[in-house]
Amino acid sequence: MTAINTVADYTLEGDVGVITLNSPPVNALSAGVRDGLALGVAQALADPAARAIVIVCEGRTFIAGADITEFGGASKGASLHDVQNAMENATKPVVAAIHGTALGGGLEVALTCHYRVAVPSARCGLPEVALGLLPGAGGTQRLPRIVGAEKALEMMTSGAHVPAPQCLAMGLVDELVEEGKLREGAIAFARKIVAEGRPLKRVQDLNEKMEAARSHPEIFANFRKANARKFRGFMAPEWNIRCIEAAVNLPFEEGLAVERKLFMELMTGPQSAAQRYSFFAERQANKIPDVPDDTALIPVNSVGIIGAGTMGGGIAMNFANAGIPVTLIEVKQDALDRGLSVIRKNYERTASRGGITAADVEKRMGLISGSLDMNALAPVDMVIEAVFERMDIKKDIFTRLDAICKPGAILATNTSALNIDEIASVTRRPEAVIGLHFFSPANVMKLLEVVRADHTSKPVIATSMKLAKKIGKIAALVGVCPGFVGNRILGQRQREAQKLMFEGAMPWDIDRVLYDFGFPMGPFAMSDLAGLDIGWVKENSKGETIRDVLCELDRRGQKTGAGYYDYDENRVAYPSPVTEQIIKDFVAKSGVNPRTITDEEILERCLYPMVNEGAKILEEGKAIRASDIDVIWQNGYGWPVYRGGPMFWGDQVGLAKILAKMKEFQAQMGDVYKPAALLETMVAEGKSFTR
């Protein structure tokens, strides 16, 4: 074995030259890795004893992409393009040996090898789209040449990590080798192709699938149409599509030129900057300054959930999906039966769409058992309480859990608003109590707000954060305060939306501005979807609010065909003259002169107070860092990913501008707009939240 540099070495294994990369954590294509590849390939080509070349990685994965931390910096080391040219034009067969994930630039390197082998557990993908980018190392031109335009469209615009057996089926991988025996398997494969005299297959020379796609130009228009909603606002999916069109319609080198140009447009644009920021923000959120990485974890091999309603059922599915058995507790048999049957229906719906198999449905249902007896929770490692939001009920449950659960069990509450310190105070083990705030629908929404109470222990925090990842959630740790971080900031936007309505803006104006900003829907459309009657009691309703009047008219939202909006039979929303009149009557009664409110004011009024509240949250130490707030808002509240999150966006807008506006609002409308002291300090010191 010869060391090529600090991250690569070269070994001659009989008649095969093996280049091994070892650059933890994910063998990203840093300057060192690119140099290692360039020198390694040169060495193998010069080695008369080597008849073929294998590229394999140490550690958890094959190359997982370009090194994102290098983006925007001065270029160093060998250029990836040159490395790829050397490999693709090599006079000896080059074989990529894939385990873990071959992603982005990693797959693009593999695509310049003549052959690719993988272990069955490996995955391949071009996930650049998630970073607001497109594959910039020839992937947009090479992938479609192997898998065809349609599959390339799907893979590149979804960023999916495709399992190796599927890659084999679509020709992206040439052979699967035995799990755990990648190196030997790849060397044996290399020998086989030499022995069989197989050609040096250059992906760029494959044109059959491109010719086939040329006679179906409609696939692009159809694909754009089918995905218009999903791609709304994002640049990267469209830029990826254009590259695939270029692959179909242009010679390889010209296609590459299109790819390079479009890649640079994205790379230097604001969307990718926001999306790359988000990638690191999500990972940063797992780092808790006073909870070291080596904090002992509590094994969680079984979970109890109290409450089989929408929330409890959704939470249960997360654990069953991850193979963790769940005991679901309800007070009445019919509620339990209903809860279990909703879970089954959800799984069956996923199965009917091909997301899981019928056997998966049974396996997951088999992991969920129901009980009416809380004593069934005695052996579980973690309990999550998901009953409705009443302190007395929660306290009663936690008192009983304290008596029932084994020592060391984690006692979690899914409360979205109540004081977790108060809940913990009824137990003799407040260190075991934590908030796990799931978002509805809990089996779908990515965010988990992990709420640390005064006495929550470090192992309980560390375990909850790790568990979140295991069940596919993106977690952020927050402190106890009304609404925690997400809902507390939401409260600002909701207040402004309501206030603006009393000043002359109509619900559909406010919704439109926020929708155009990139939210999936505005607050009024959201209320209609959720139901205006949540928390509304007919007997107590005295027409004192717009909501009261709407509900009294049986305009209780989408489910009754009318709410703030009117709905047609397809649930398409239309501005409602009835609602408009109700609002106008309220405004007239309040003595306010309605005025014309610009879109700009709507946006500033709804969003600047959110940034300001974020600053207050940081000031109070209820979030560890500004990027955690952004993680919460992107993953739980639909903040458009390509705008980074409220704090990142606030920085883009300019904190001085936001501060000036907050002061203006305060002078006009009072102290709810009082600027956060931290905002003042940051402006005075010329600092930003996220840079």
User: Which residue numbers are catalytic?
Assistant: 108, 128
Interface with ligand 3HC (CB under 6 A), residue from 9, 35, 67, 385: 67
In terms of CB distance, is 65 or 237 closer to ligand 3HC?
65
Q: Considering only 133-141, 304-312, 519-527, 530-538, which stretch makes contact with ligand 3HC by CB under 6 A?
A: 133-141
Are 38 and 86 spatial neighbours (Cβ–Cβ below 8 Å)? yes
* Of 455, 332, 327, nearest in space to 385 by CA: 327
- State which amino acid sits at residue 108: E
Q: Is residue 629 a contact residue for ligand 3HC (CB under 6 A)?
A: no
In the DSSP assignment, the letter for residue 137 is T
CB of 134 to ligand 3HC, least distance (A): 7
In terms of CB distance, is 113 or 611 closer to ligand 3HC?
113
Q: Is residue 69 a contact residue for ligand 3HC (CB under 6 A)?
A: yes
Task: With residue 21 as reference, give the H or E element that holds it.
Answer: strand 16-21
Interface with ligand 3HC (CB under 6 A), residue from 4, 8, 26, 384: 26
**CA 368, CA 325: separation in Å to the nearest integer?**
6
Q: Is residue 76 a contact residue for ligand 3HC (CB under 6 A)?
A: no
Interface with ligand 3HC (CB under 6 A), residue from 65, 144, 307, 644: 65
Interface with ligand 3HC (CB under 6 A), residue from 21, 56, 129, 131: 131
Q: Is residue 624 a contact residue for ligand 3HC (CB under 6 A)?
A: no
Q: Considering only 123-131, 144-152, 562-570, 581-589, which stretch makes contact with ligand 3HC by CB under 6 A?
A: 123-131
**CA 22, CA 42: separation in Å to the nearest integer?**
18
Are 341 and 310 spatial neighbours (Cβ–Cβ below 8 Å)? no
Interface with ligand 3HC (CB under 6 A), residue from 17, 105, 609, 645: 105
Are 495 and 508 spatial neighbours (Cβ–Cβ below 8 Å)? no
In terms of CB distance, is 67 or 174 closer to ligand 3HC?
67
Q: Which segments within 550-593 are labelled E, that is strand?
A: 565-567, 573-575
Which residues on neighbouring strands pair with residue 117, listed in sequence order?
97, 175
Q: Considering only 45-53, 67-75, 114-122, 673-681, which stretch makes contact with ligand 3HC by CB under 6 A?
A: 67-75
Q: Considering only 57-65, 169-177, 470-478, 511-519, which stretch makes contact with ligand 3HC by CB under 6 A?
A: 57-65
Which phi-psi region, left, alpha or beta, contains residue 197 (left: φ > 0; alpha: ψ -120 to 50)? left
* Of 252, 261, 167, nearest in space to 209 by CA: 252
In terms of CB distance, is 139 or 313 closer to ligand 3HC?
139
Q: Considering only 130-138, 300-308, 529-537, 573-581, which stretch makes contact with ligand 3HC by CB under 6 A?
A: 130-138
Task: With residue 436 as reference, give the H or E element that holds it.
Answer: strand 433-438
CB of 80 to ligand 3HC, least distance (A): 7
Buried b (16+ CB within 10 A) or exposed e, 494-525: eebbbebbebbbbbbbbbbbbbebebeebbbb
In terms of CB distance, is 108 or 385 closer to ligand 3HC?
108
Q: Is residue 110 a contact residue for ligand 3HC (CB under 6 A)?
A: no
How long is the chain?
A: 691
CB of 140 to ligand 3HC, least distance (A): 9
Q: Is residue 66 a contact residue for ligand 3HC (CB under 6 A)?
A: yes
CB of 67 to ligand 3HC, least distance (A): 5
In terms of CB distance, is 267 or 606 closer to ligand 3HC?
267
The CA-CA-CA angle for residues 259, 169, 470, to 5°, reads 80
CB of 456 to ligand 3HC, least distance (A): 23
- Contacts of ligand 3HC in 189-228 (CB under 6 A): none
**CA 85, CA 71: separation in Å to the nearest integer?**
21
In terms of CB distance, is 27 or 43 closer to ligand 3HC?
27
User: By CB under 6 A, how many residues form the interface with ligand 3HC?
Assistant: 24
Sorted by sequence, the CB contacts under 8 Å of residue 66 that are 6+ apart come out as 28, 29, 80, 104, 105, 136, 137
CB of 65 to ligand 3HC, least distance (A): 2
Q: Is residue 101 a contact residue for ligand 3HC (CB under 6 A)?
A: yes
In terms of CB distance, is 55 or 387 closer to ligand 3HC?
55
Are 9 and 1 spatial neighbours (Cβ–Cβ below 8 Å)? yes
The CA-CA-CA angle for residues 460, 466, 468, to 5°, reads 100
**CA 538, CA 283: separation in Å to the nearest integer?**
46
Interface with ligand 3HC (CB under 6 A), residue from 4, 19, 21, 28: 28
Alpha-helical segments (H) within 322-427: 333-352, 358-366, 391-404, 420-424
Q: Which segments within 581-620 are labelled E, that is strand?
A: none
Interface with ligand 3HC (CB under 6 A), residue from 12, 31, 42, 68: 68
Cα dihedral 141, 142, 144, 147, rounded to 10, equals 180
Q: Which segments within 453-503 are labelled E, that is strand?
A: 474-479
- Residue with structure tokens 């509590």? 298
CB of 440 to ligand 3HC, least distance (A): 25
SS3 of 592-647: the string is CCCCCCCHHHHHHHHHHHHHHHHHHHHHCCCECCHHHHHHHHHHHCCCCHHHCCHH
In the DSSP assignment, the letter for residue 299 is P
Are 452 and 484 spatial neighbours (Cβ–Cβ below 8 Å)? no
- Percent composition of the chain: helix, strand, coil (DSSP 3-state, to 5): 50, 15, 35
CB of 264 to ligand 3HC, least distance (A): 11
Q: Site map for ligand 3HC, 272-311, x if CB under 6 A?
A: -----------x----------------------------
Q: How far is CA 369 from CA 131, 305, 400, 550, in A?
A: 40, 10, 20, 41
Q: Site map for ligand 3HC, 134-173, x if CB under 6 A?
A: -xxx-x----------------------------------
Q: Is residue 7 a contact residue for ligand 3HC (CB under 6 A)?
A: no
CB of 559 to ligand 3HC, least distance (A): 39
CB of 545 to ligand 3HC, least distance (A): 46
Q: Is residue 312 a contact residue for ligand 3HC (CB under 6 A)?
A: no
In terms of CB distance, is 64 or 626 closer to ligand 3HC?
64
**CA 658, CA 649: separation in Å to the nearest integer?**
11
Interface with ligand 3HC (CB under 6 A), residue from 128, 245, 381, 628: 128
In the DSSP assignment, the letter for residue 13 is E
CB of 115 to ligand 3HC, least distance (A): 21
CB of 475 to ligand 3HC, least distance (A): 12
CB of 429 to ligand 3HC, least distance (A): 31
Tokens of 512: 């439109």
Using a 10 angstrom Cβ sphere, with 0-12 exposed, 13-18 middle and 19 or more buried, the burial of residue 436 is buried
In terms of CB distance, is 101 or 487 closer to ligand 3HC?
101
In terms of CB distance, is 80 or 632 closer to ligand 3HC?
80
**CA 67, CA 70: separation in Å to the nearest integer?**
6
What phi, psi does 373 have (nearest 5°)? -115, 115
Contacts with ligand 3HC by CB under 6 A lie at: 25-26, 28, 61, 64-69, 101, 103-105, 108, 127-128, 131, 133, 135-137, 139, 283
